[in-house]
A and B are shown apart, each in its own frame.
Chain A
Amino acid sequence: MALLDVVDVSGGYGAGLILHGISFTVRQGEAVVILGANGAGKTTTLRAVSGMIDARGEIVFDGRRILGRRPEQVAAAGIAHVPQGRGTILDLTVEDNLRVGAYPRRDRDVDADLADWYEIFPRLGQRRELPAGGLSGGEQQMLAIARALMGRPKLVLLDEPSLGLAPIVTEDLFRTLGTLNAERGVSMLIVEQNVGLALDLADRGYVLETGRIVVEGSADDLAQNEDVQRAYLGV
């Protein structure tokens, strides 16, 4: 059974409809990528899953219907959303940012998880007492990912993680995401402009065009797909 099952979801902002009946799934342990041009509705798709916009249709996560729930309820149910622009809580220290990520948790292992993330991202450990607003873009993206995973979510939504990062930082980031997916079994739903890196990481993918899914398949199939190559890979 799918971890996340999105069925015929339509939605948008106010009166304007952006998504026109999209359906897709993310299975346990999978990394799934959503590709598409600017304005295709990629961010809106993630926002619909998180309950940040009004949507119709059906979204089932981990056996529970989550459509219509508020973002904080969706998060508490186990979906962490790393928003575009990283959502850094600027006035809080790096460590407090991470602790907010653990807010819905009731267990006592938060400190152990903190130490864990400082090991994975040593730069965050070095800057733990500094205001997060002073971090570089790449560090803020690491912080955003670690913060989201501090909640021990079952699924992570990543919205354009490469945005504004230098190519070498982006490659590093995707290597880390690949490790998290492969070794920790973190399920991921990723929206990304850097199609090459995204398809390297992902198991499967969907191509979104003006609010509709037009192609879907395994990451390898998509990488070979002529339309995808022409439109997004510049081949």
Chain B
Amino acid sequence: MAPPRQTREVVVTGIGAVTPLGLGAATLHDRWAAGELGIVDGLAPCSAFDASEHLSLKESRRLDRFSQLAVVAADEAIAQAGWTGALPYDPTRVGCVIATGIGGQTTIESQVILMHERGERAVSPLGIPLYMPNAAAAAITIRHSLRGPSFGVVSACTSGAHAIGSAMRMIQYGDADAVVCGGAEASLTRFGIACFRSMQALSESGVSRPFDLRRDGFVMGEGAGVLVLEEREAARERGAEVLAELAGYGSTTDAHHITAPEPSGGPAARAIELALRDAGAAPEEVDYVNAHGTSTPLNDAAETAALKLALGEHARRVPISSTKSAIGHTLGAAGAVEAVATVRTLMTGVIAPTLGLEVPDPELDLDYVPGEARPLPPANGHRPLALSNSFAFGGHNVVLAIRRAAE
């Protein structure tokens, strides 16, 4: 391995989320910790989200639903960072990386139907600006006048985590002093659901119960998660409140199968090891793992294997829980939504449980926090550290290491 670079450090100063549990980062974690579910009839839509409460008619008809969710989550994160009204940095030093697994699914579907019904000339000139996967990133840059590097990221269910990792590197390398980053997905359409159902990825029972013996697939969700990242010294100089430190990022690939995870968990374990090394942390320092935990038979087994490989004996001691047990799988948003939930876990000291986990799988023998929320265990000699895992169709693996902010 190459020696670690001396790099600038990255802190989180704002978080925002729109999820099946409602609006807001705190809402997501509080309701999940209280055992509430955002899943209804086997799907997890953002039912509380009403675009007209946040966006003008002009704004909302220029944005596909995935971008609308991203813009509202970004507004929350940016307000929390204290940026509302005026950017604290030269705009050319502020970037924006917003991921999605698919892009504007609702737009693609409605425009294709329109084309079949009324011909090519009926297709909307807004089609491309609505459905392009970089539309959410572009919308946020326009709304907040961010003029540093910006783009979308696409890697299925690791998209959101890749966006955060890319943003972190952008700050560390010096290409930006702050980056608005995250992910968004809104593909609960007839075609979107049919495609996932056809490949038998979705739960037949309509229940998300990661790590349970009866798990039978994931529940499709939608949502957005956004974080404001800043270079530590710049954040300190402007007196920003630091919510957490983004301490490490690890990214690998299975190169095994287009949808099935590599069963040994080796490449995923390597991503965990890289994230810990990037954070300068030992496996024993991990106090909580926010699992990818999709509730599919293969993922939950491979993830368990990966945790054992990477953390050794400590894997049996560390509490592990899955946000997807409460809100289903938000696909390209998941990595970002779950990073937001992980930041809230470190801020509140409350580990939300893996909901629906009632019948243990004898093959999966780690502590998946069934039942009730519990306090974060006391950290001995280090600031609490959490991992947020994301694994994707395509074999992409991303792990973020997040540390509680210094007192």
Q: Say whether A and B bind each other.
A: no
